Structure 1
Amino acid sequence: MNVFFFILINNIAPIFFIIGLGYVLEKTFELDIYSFSKVNFYVFVPALVLVKVYQTEIQFELMRAIVYAFTFLAAMTLLAVLMAKFRDYKMARASAFKNSVMFYNSGNFGIPLITLVFAGTEYAAYAVSIQIMVLMVQNLTTNSIGFYNAGRGQMDVKNTLIATAKMPSLYAVIIALSLKLIPFNMAEFFIWPAFEYMHDGLISVALLTLGIQLSLAKLELKDLDVYLASFSRLIGGALIAFVLIYLLGIEGVMARVLFISSAVPSAVNTALIAVEFNNEPDFASQVVLTTTLLSTVTLTAVIYLSGILF
């Protein structure tokens, strides 16, 4: 019960406060959602990717977490594709559905959650390091495959690749990896704090943008696709994670972290990408909202089970 209320108060409540603020602001001032989307993807997201990739030290023992993260992503992609075919979705809905299932809130939700679960233990720092590996994989793929998926919902392959190539996050990854090869601490460079300020601002701006989008969306409480995506993300994610952890022979703290983090809500960026490409933005926003709400119950169960299973 304590975990349930902690998740509700420390994770869900702050998220919904900022989303609600964005909702009210749009209703009051009629804000331009596309301007906010551009600021997200051309300023804040590249800054976050640059800082995270540059600062993350990839230790050899953590490579298993990276292998798992890519394998899990592939498995969730397969699940989403099969569900989309079963439901006979058109390209736009199928693309939005895939993004909602494949990409999850591993950063501003996952890291605080893992910090909570392992707080006060000797494994706390190690657990967070594992989650950072997951976050890095999710950041890289969301800002590449995620863009491609959304683009395919509205464009042919050629134009989708062109649109994806225009997104600065891909180049932020290349720059960050290149900077890691230079024998100089870029954090001491005079301009580095500017990137950290932008990195820190992403969560607030992203959630405000989601609130603005939700105020413009036509909420369909009877949309079965929203619940299918939510079920696939929260329950399907946990079940697939359990199977992969067993097959890959992962045990102990790493198994618990990966099991828990694989069952967090859909990433806010999936809704923002949908807005940027005008690809089912209402659907994507509703899945983020629904999975975040339902996760108060599902994650409590997953955290409890992680202590028993691993």
Structure 2
Amino acid sequence: MEVFLFVLFNNISPIFLIIVLGYMLATKFELDINSLSKVNFYIFIPSLIFVKIYETKIDTRLLKVLLFATLFLVALALISIIIAKLRGHSIARESAFKNAIMFYNSGNFSLPLISLVFGVTAFAAYAISVQIMVLLVQTLITNTLGFYNAGRGQMDYKENLKTIFSMPTVYAIALALIFKAVPYNPTESFLWPAILYMKDGMIPIALLMLGIQLTATKFNFKDLDVYIASFTRLLIGPILAYLLILLLEIDSNTAQVLFISSSVPTAVSTALIAVEFNNEPDFASQVVLTTTLLSTISLTGIIYLAQYIF
């Protein structure tokens, strides 16, 4: 019950409060979500990614975690492609379906959750480091392959690649990796405070945008794909994670972190990418909302199961 209430009040409620505010604003004022999307993708997201990648210390003990996070994404991609083919999806729906399953809320949702679960143990600090490695992989792939997936439904291969490389996020990733490799500390630059200010704007503007998008979303409660994607993200995902953990022979404590974090809802960024590329934005928004709501129930069971099987 403690875990259920924590997830409900500390993870779900703040997210939905900001989403509702965005929804209310959009019903009262005429807000241009495309302009907000440009602000988010060209300013806030690159700033957040640059800071996250630059500040993340990669411990050699965590290399197996990086391997797990990468293989887990591959497994999720394969299962989503198989389901999409069986369902006879169009390229646009398949791309949105794949993003909804592959990319999960590994940052502002998972980090507080992992802090709660391991907060009173000697393993707490390392557990957070494990989750940050997962966040790093998710961030890199979401803002490259996630863009490519979304673009597939609307443009050809060359045009898609051109669009991806026009996004500043790609260069923020490269720049952060360069600064990690050279003997220069960008935190001493006069630009660093500005980057931090912009970084902090990403999460609230993303959630407000989701609320605004919902005012234009045509909800289809009979869309079976929404429920299949939600089921796959919240329940099939942990099963795949469990099999990978056994395959890689990951230690018990690390396994618990990876198993729990593999079970969190679809990332809000998948809906934002869908809006930016006009690729099934209604479907993407519904999956984000559905998985976030259902995770209050599924995560409680997953956390207890993690402590039992590892």
TM range (shorter): over 0.9
**Residue in 2 that maps onto 1:106:** 106
Distance 1:299 1:215 in 2: 28
Specify the alignment match of 2:302 in structure 1: 302
The answer to whether the aligner puts 1:13 opposite 2:52 as a matched pair is no
Write the distance in 2 (CA, Å) between the matches of 1:165 and 1:67. Answer: 26
Distance in 2 (CA, whole Å) between partners of 1:182 and 1:92 is: 41
- In the alignment, which residue of structure 1 is the partner of 2:210? 210
1:234 alignment counterpart: 234
Q: Residue 107 of structure 1: SS of its match in structure 2? A: coil
| Matched residue, 1:4 | 4
The alignment partner of 2:144 has SS state of helix
**Structure 1 position 158 matched with structure 2 position 166:** no
1:59 corresponds to: 59
Report what 2:224 is aligned to.
Answer: 224
Residue 25 of structure 2 is aligned to residue 25 of structure 1: yes
Matched, 1:199 2:204: no
Output the CA distance in 1 between the equivalents of 2:236 and 2:38: 32
Shift of 1:161: 0.8
CA distance in 2 between counterparts of 1:242 and 1:143 reads 26
Aligned partners of 1:86 and 1:251: how far apart in 2?
Answer: 36
Q: In the aligned structure 2, how far is the partner of 1:122 from the partner of 1:194?
A: 36
- 1:30 to partner: Cα distance: 1.8
Structure 1 counterpart of 2:235, one-letter code: I
* Whole-Å separation in 1 of the counterparts to 2:214 and 2:251: 40
CA deviations on 1:213-264 (whole Å, 9 max, x unpaired) are: 1111011112111000001111011110011001110122110010000110
- 2:141 equivalent to 1:141: yes
* Structure 2 portions without partners, runs of 5+: none
In structure 2, C-alpha distance between the alignment counterparts of 1:187 and 1:66, rounded to whole Å? 26
Residues in 1 aligned to 2:37 and 2:151: alpha-carbon distance in whole angstroms: 15
* TM-score normalised by L of structure 1: 0.99
Could you say which residue in structure 2 is the equivalent of 1:280? 280
- Cα distance in 1 for residues equivalent to 2:118 and 2:194: 32
Instruction: Please tell me the residue identity of whatever aligns with 1:93.
Output: R
In 2, Cα distance between the equivalents of 1:130 and 1:215? 37
Post-superposition Cα deviations, 1:166-224, rounded to whole Å, max 9, x if no partner, equal 11111101100111122232212221011111111111010001111111101111211
Structure 2 CA distance, aligned partners of 1:188 and 1:121? 35
1:268 aligns with 2:268: yes
Task: Give distance in 2, aligned partners of 1:40 and 1:113.
Answer: 25
Question: Which residue does the alignment assign to 1:255?
Answer: 255
Is the partner of 1:22 in helix, strand or coil? helix
Structure 1: distance between partners of 2:122 and 2:188:
31
Rounded Cα–Cα distance in structure 1 between residues aligned with 2:64 and 2:242: 15
SS at the partner of 2:106? coil
Give the ranges of 4+ consecutive aligned residues of structure 1 lying more than 3 Å apart after TM superposition. Answer: none
Query: 1:196 & 1:120 partners in 2: Cα distance?
Result: 30
Aligned residues: 310
- Whole-Å Cα distance in 1 between the matches of residues 187 and 142 of structure 2? 25
Q: Secondary structure at the match of 1:89?
A: coil
Instruction: Give me the TM-score of the superposition, normalised by structure 2.
Output: 0.99
Partner of 2:291: helix, strand, or coil? Answer: helix
Residue identity matched to 2:51: V
Matched, 1:122 2:142: no
Distance 2:30 2:256 in 1: 44
CA distance in 2, matches of 1:181, 1:147: 26
Root mean square deviation, CA, Å:
0.7
Amino acid corresponding to residue 208 of structure 1 in structure 2: L
CA distance in 2 between counterparts of 1:131 and 1:277 reads: 29
Q: Which residue of 2 aligns with 1:35?
A: 35
Corresponding position of 1:76: 76
Deviations 1:84-104 (A, max 9, x none): 000000111111000000000
